[in-house]
Amino acid sequence: MIETDALIIGAGPVGLYQAFQLGLLGLRCHIIDALPHVGGQCAELYPDKPIYDIPGIPVCTGLELIERLQQQILPFAPPLHLGHLVNGLAPQPNGWRVTTDQGLNIVAKVVVIAAGVGAFVPKTLKIEGADRHAGRQLHYRMEDPSRFVGQRITVLGGDELALDWAVRLTEQPVGHQPQSVDLLYRRDVLSATPELLSRFENLRHKKRITQHVGQPTRLVSVESGQMGSIDYMTPDGHLQTLAADTVLAATGLSPKLGPIANWGLVLDHKQLVVNPATCETAHVGLFAVGDVITYPGKKKLIACGFHECVMTAYAVAEIVIPGQTGPLQYTTSSALLQQRLELGI
Ligand SMILES: Cc1cc2nc3c(=O)[nH]c(=O)nc-3n(C[C@H](O)[C@H](O)[C@H](O)COP(=O)(O)OP(=O)(O)OC[C@H]3O[C@@H](n4cnc5c(N)ncnc54)[C@H](O)[C@@H]3O)c2cc1C
């Protein structure tokens, strides 16, 4: 079990900036996100689109903003727990206990929910056989590519994630490789970075990955009840079958408020209601910032979320180190920040 001053749920732009503001006040914090990477909507929904309304940055892409925020929090190096969906939040005598779907257990004096539009979770397949084989031969994540040694793998999808899985599986060292890797996508146009597309094309050219165009229709069970193949419909209406021991579905992500809606917190149109002066919910020690909150005049903008992080940090400090925050301190004269920067932490 991990113990910390503050825990931030969500590593979107606002969650990351919250870590910086808490660090400035000398508070230790951890950050959890359901995604395997930081950045929330900026990284997931518009990585290459330009943003024009971040103060002091005339223009930057979603990914560039996240890279800058990551650089900004480096002096405080908050531990990141990625790929963890927070599914439990319970009050403790001196704070909150947070648990995740991957078995992480953190006790924090204060929790800041920066969950945006919710956790980005994989869209599940809605075809015959999907429910039966989910978690056994159908997976929505690929944690360890070496566990599929000797298997016939079908990867579903045509974006960065699907191609990354197909390429990583195929590039496993000898002795750890699957028997075959097929990629099935409804279109023949794939979308990924030029570097990944080129690695994929190279492996396809060498016939180490086979690409198929079509829409999956059914996961077919064999006599033992196990999945043996996947049926799909080609664009010209022909039903085809691919032998498969495992299907890895990278069929997109959708945001789900999910567990947060079940924690008994006051919601207004699926937003957490907070006191705008402190961003505290109705529960002592439970704060929320960014797109997930509402108060009179709230705007779902990054700049608005950044302001909330400042208000929250001072209110959090009053709980964790009461009476010790002193007067407002500028970063231009922050001894703590200077020390961290000089140490190169
Ligand atoms: C196309 C598009 C363009 C935009 N352009 C602009 C713009 O130009 N300017 C601007 O200011 N804003 C813009 N926005 C809005 C901006 O992206 C959001 O205001 C901002 O991302 C909110 O940040 P956040 O950190 O609050 O939430 P998010 O970015 O939504 O991040 C929340 C994070 O919390 C995680 N999470 C949620 N629940 C859980 C859980 N239970 N367990 C673990 N993790 C969880 C999610 O996985 C996610 O990573 C745009 C949005 C979109 C969609």
Q: Could you tell me the distance, in angstroms and rounded to a whole number, from the CA of residue 244 to the centre of ligand 1? A: 36
160 and 55 both lie in a single domain:
no
Where is the domain boundary, 251, 285, 301? 251
How distant, in Å, are the alpha carbons of 123, 151, 244, 338 from that of 83? Answer: 15, 25, 26, 32
| CA nearest neighbour of 275 among 301, 292, 261, 293 | 293
* Higher local confidence (pLDDT), 343 or 261: 261
pLDDT band of 345, cuts 50, 70, 90: low
pLDDT tens, 13-38?
A: 999 999 999 999 999 999 999 988 99
pLDDT band of 268, cuts 50, 70, 90: very high
Where is the domain boundary, 251, 278, 304? 251
Q: Which helix (H) or strand (E) holds 9?
A: strand 2-9
| CA nearest neighbour of 217 among 154, 130, 293 | 130
191 and 267 both lie in a single domain:
no
138 and 173 both lie in a single domain:
yes
For ligand 1, atom 14, the nearest C-alpha belongs to 301
For ligand 1, atom 22, the nearest C-alpha belongs to 291
How distant, in Å, are the alpha carbons of 69, 195, 331 from that of 38? Answer: 10, 21, 25
pLDDT tens, 106-159?
A: 999 999 999 998 988 889 999 999 999 999 999 998 878 889 999 999 999 999
36 and 133 both lie in a single domain:
no
**Average of per-residue pLDDT across 77-87:** 94
For ligand 1, atom 10, the nearest C-alpha belongs to 301
Q: Could you tell me the distance, in angstroms and rounded to a whole number, from the CA of residue 42 to the centre of ligand 1? A: 6
For ligand 1, atom 12, the nearest C-alpha belongs to 301
pLDDT tens, 118-131?
A: 988 889 999 999 99
Residue 133 backbone zone (phi > 0: left; psi -120 to 50: alpha; other: beta) = alpha
% of the chain exceeding 70 in pLDDT? 99
How many domains does the chain contain in total? 2
Q: Using alpha carbons only, how large is the chain's radius of gyration in Å?
A: 23
Where is the domain boundary, 203, 223, 251? 251
103 and 21 both lie in a single domain:
yes
By most ligand atoms within 8 Å of CB, the mutation choice from 41, 45, 46 for ligand 1 is 41
CATH number of the domain bearing residue 103 = 3.50.50.60
162 and 305 both lie in a single domain:
no
**Average of per-residue pLDDT across 288-311:** 97
Does the structure show a pLDDT above 90 at 333? no
**Average of per-residue pLDDT across 76-89:** 94
Q: What is the pLDDT of residue 344?
A: 64
**Average of per-residue pLDDT across 236-241:** 97
Q: What is the pLDDT of residue 168?
A: 94
314 and 287 both lie in a single domain:
yes
Helix 335-343 × helix 13-24 angle, to 10°: 110
Q: Could you tell me the distance, in angstroms and rounded to a whole number, from the CA of residue 274 to the centre of ligand 1? A: 18
For ligand 1, atom 33, the nearest C-alpha belongs to 10
**Average of per-residue pLDDT across 266-287:** 95
Q: Which residue has the tokens 């198929």?
A: 212
Q: Could you tell me the distance, in angstroms and rounded to a whole number, from the CA of residue 49 to the centre of ligand 1? A: 14
**Average of per-residue pLDDT across 282-297:** 96
pLDDT tens, 193-228?
A: 899 999 999 999 999 999 999 999 999 999 899 999
Q: Could you tell me the distance, in angstroms and rounded to a whole number, from the CA of residue 185 to the centre of ligand 1? A: 28
Q: What is the pLDDT of residue 257?
A: 82
d(CA 14, CA 272): 15
Within 6 A (CB) of ligand 1 lie: 9-15, 32-35, 40-42, 45-46, 51, 53, 85-86, 114-120, 258-260, 290-291, 300-303, 305
3-state helix, strand, coil in the chain (%, to 5): 30, 30, 40
| Distance separating the N- and C-terminal Cα atoms of the chain | 25
d(CA 210, CA 205): 9
Q: Closest ligand 1 atom, CA of 14? A: 25
Q: Closest ligand 1 atom, CA of 53? A: 9
260 and 235 both lie in a single domain:
no
23 and 104 both lie in a single domain:
yes
Does the structure show a pLDDT above 80 at 1? yes
- Own/partner pairs, 23-26, CB within 8 angstroms, 24+ separation: 23/73, 23/75, 23/76, 23/78, 23/340, 24/76, 24/313, 24/329, 24/331, 24/334, 24/336, 24/337, 25/313, 25/314, 25/316, 25/317, 25/321, 25/325, 26/321, 26/336
| CA nearest neighbour of 54 among 42, 43, 45 | 42
Q: Closest ligand 1 atom, CA of 258? A: 41
133 and 246 both lie in a single domain:
yes
Domain extent at residue 146? 124-251
240 and 135 both lie in a single domain:
yes
How distant, in Å, are the alpha carbons of 132, 171, 216, 241 from that of 213? Answer: 24, 22, 10, 12
Q: Which residue has the tokens 């165009």?
A: 213
